[in-house]
Amino acid sequence: MSKLKFMILTAAITIIPMSAAFAQWNSMQGMLLFTSDRDGDEEIFKAIVTSAADVQQETQLTFNADKDNRARFSPDGTSIAFIRNDSEVWMMDNQGGNQHFVTKGETVDFSPDGTKLAISVYGGIISVYNLQTQALVNIVGSSIYVGHNYSPDWSPDGQKIIYRNKFLYMWPHYTNIMIVNPDGSGVKNLTGYNEYKDIGAENPRWSPDGTKIAYECGQKICTMNPDGSNQVYPYSLKIGGTFSWPVWSPDGNWHMFNLAGSSTPSFNGKLFLIKLDITKASAFVAAENHPGNNYPTDWFYLGDVTAPPAIPPSVTLTALPTTINYPKTTTLNWSSMNASSCIGSISGGWSGVIPLSGNAVLQPTATATYTVSCTGNGGTDSKSVTVNVNLNEDCLFNWAENNYANLFSPVGAMTQSASPYLFRYYQNTNSYVGVSLLNNHVYYLGPEGGSPQDVGDLSGWLTLAQCQ
> HSE of 58 in the Cβ direction (CA atoms, 13 Å)?
18
Chain segment 189-226, per-residue pLDDT in tens: 998 876 545 567 899 999 999 999 999 987 888 899 99
Q: What is the pLDDT of residue 68?
A: 95
Q: What is the pLDDT of residue 17?
A: 31
Closest listed residue to residue 49, CA positions, set 33, 69, 61:
33
Number of neighbours of residue 426 by Cβ within 10 angstroms: 21
Positive/negative CA dihedral, 349, 354, 358, 361: negative
3-state secondary structure the chain: CECCEEEEEECCCCEECHHHHHCCCCCCCEEEEEEECCCCCCEEEEEEECCCHHHCEEEECCCCCCCEEEEEECCCCCEEEEEECCCEEEEEECCCCCCEEEEECCEEEECCCCCEEEEEECCCEEEEEECCCCCEEEEECCCCCCCEEEEEEECCCCCCEEEEEECCCCCCCCEEEEEECCCCCCCEECCCCCCCCCCCEEEEEECCCCCCEEEEECCEEEEECCCCCCCECCCCCCCCCEEEEEEECCCCCEEEEEEECCCCHHHCCCEEEEECCCCCCCEEEEEECCCCCEEEEEEEECCCCCCCCCCCCEEEEEEECCEEECCCCEEEEEEEECCCEEEEEECCCCEEEECCCEEEEECCCCCEEEEEEEEECCEEEEEEEEEEEECHHHHHHHHHHHHCCCCCCCCCCCEEEECCEEEEEECCCCEEEEEECCCCEEEEECCCCCCCEEEEEHHHHHHHCCCC
From the centroid of its chain, how far is CA 113?
26
Q: Is residue 209 exposed (0-12), middle (13-18) or buried (19+ Cβ within 10 Å)?
A: exposed
Give all domains of the chain, ordered by start, each with its CATH number: 5-301 (2.120.10.30), 314-390 (2.60.40.10), 392-464 (3.30.1120)
Chain segment 249-263, per-residue pLDDT in tens: 888 877 888 888 877
Q: What is the pLDDT of residue 39?
A: 80
Phi, psi of 216 (to 5 degrees): -75, 135
pTM for this predicted structure: 0.62
Q: What is the pLDDT of residue 107?
A: 95
From the centroid of its chain, how far is CA 330?
30
Phi, psi of 334 (to 5 degrees): -140, 155
Q: Order of strands across the sheet with 421-426? A: 415-418, 421-426, 431-436, 441-445, 453-457
- In the predicted model, residues of the chain with pLDDT beneath 70 are 1-29, 49-56, 142-147, 167-173, 194-199, 234-239, 277-291, 302-309, 468
